[in-house]
Amino acid sequence: VSDLAVGVDVGGTKVAAALVTREGAIVQTSRRPTTHTVTTPPGQATAVDILAAVTELIGERTDVPIGIGLPGMMTRRGVLAYAPNLPTANGGDFAALLNALRPGLVVSCANDADCAALAEHRLGAARGVDNFVMVTLGTGIGGGVVLDGKLVRGTNGFAGEIGHMVLDPQGPLCPCGARGCWERFASGAGIARLAREAAAAGRLPALVALRGGDAQSVRGEDVTTAAAEGSEEALAVIDEVAWWLARGVANLTAILDVGLVVLGGGLGDAADLLIPPARRALHGMLEGGDARPALRFERAQFAVEAGALGAAQLAFDAVQ
């Protein structure tokens, strides 16, 4: 039984790997840019990226288990069925691909947000909590649902695609093909879009002035930076994003009755700006508001490293 595992977090822009202990301590990390090359079999170029990142950490050893978090819908067999930000990997069976490259590797694969949920459940903000939802804010929104202590996987393995709950059928078009998905409002892309709308409507005069008077060039980061410095006009946009964040959390709570929502992902300190106004908005949105125990809505313990940490836990599970 290995005391070390490698967790790999595959994204549309980079492949990040970490050599991790059972207790979740990161020993060493490696990363490289993601290759977007069409291959036969699908995902071969990504498998080569993953193996290179792994080899940097453990050489050619095969006695260290590997866990991989992938950015899309994973079948119960561990095949990446649909990855909107990494389409060249659609259909990739990464355990098989890696074994073809290096026979003997023990490889387990899961959705990246499910990996983040596993990391928070075992090691982080949801330790000891049997019913919670992990919400990862990045360019989009990922999700992992844990009920009665177990990750919910669904018929196909596709459960927890919470970013594509439709909150406004007349809303903006989503890369998934639908309109008004939750992630169009409450994510990095959502902040950017609501910022441009507010700028065009004249509600961000100071930020537009900073961008030389061009409302369309106001970026999401401009808003989060200004909001962190206390700018009223920027905080008003954050409040709007937080309202949408709360709206989605309220829908999830109506279905799942979780006691905790953990907010993670790559948006960093934007989470700290969003949580207080989202908590206030949420209060009036939950059915039976005063009759139910308060829903905890907390920031994740781990940031971008959550995916690799959770993937490593998956790897340890496979060799127990």
Residue ranges that bind Zn ion, judged by CB under 5 A: 164, 174, 176, 178, 181
**What whole-number distance in Å separates Cα of residue 125 and Cα of residue 18?**
20
| Residue 66 vs 174, nearer CB to Zn ion | 174
| Residue 178 vs 228, nearer CB to Zn ion | 178
Distances (CA, A) of 228 to 168, 205, 244: 28, 17, 19
Q: Where does residue 103 rank: exposed (0-12), middle (13-18), buried (19+ CB within 10 A)?
A: exposed
C-beta atoms surrounding 41 within 10 Å: 12
- In whole angstroms, how close is the CB of 120 to Zn ion at the nearest point? 24
- In whole angstroms, how close is the CB of 178 to Zn ion at the nearest point? 5
Q: In terms of residues, how long is the chain?
A: 320
Checking 20-23 for CB contacts under 8 A at 24+ apart, the result is 20/308, 20/309, 20/312, 22/316, 23/123
- In whole angstroms, how close is the CB of 252 to Zn ion at the nearest point? 16
| Residue 40 vs 170, nearer CB to Zn ion | 170
**Which SS3 state, helix, strand or coil, does residue 88 take?**
helix
- In whole angstroms, how close is the CB of 176 to Zn ion at the nearest point? 3
| Residue 174 vs 246, nearer CB to Zn ion | 174
| Residue 116 vs 174, nearer CB to Zn ion | 174
- In whole angstroms, how close is the CB of 312 to Zn ion at the nearest point? 29
**What whole-number distance in Å separates Cα of residue 184 and Cα of residue 174?**
7
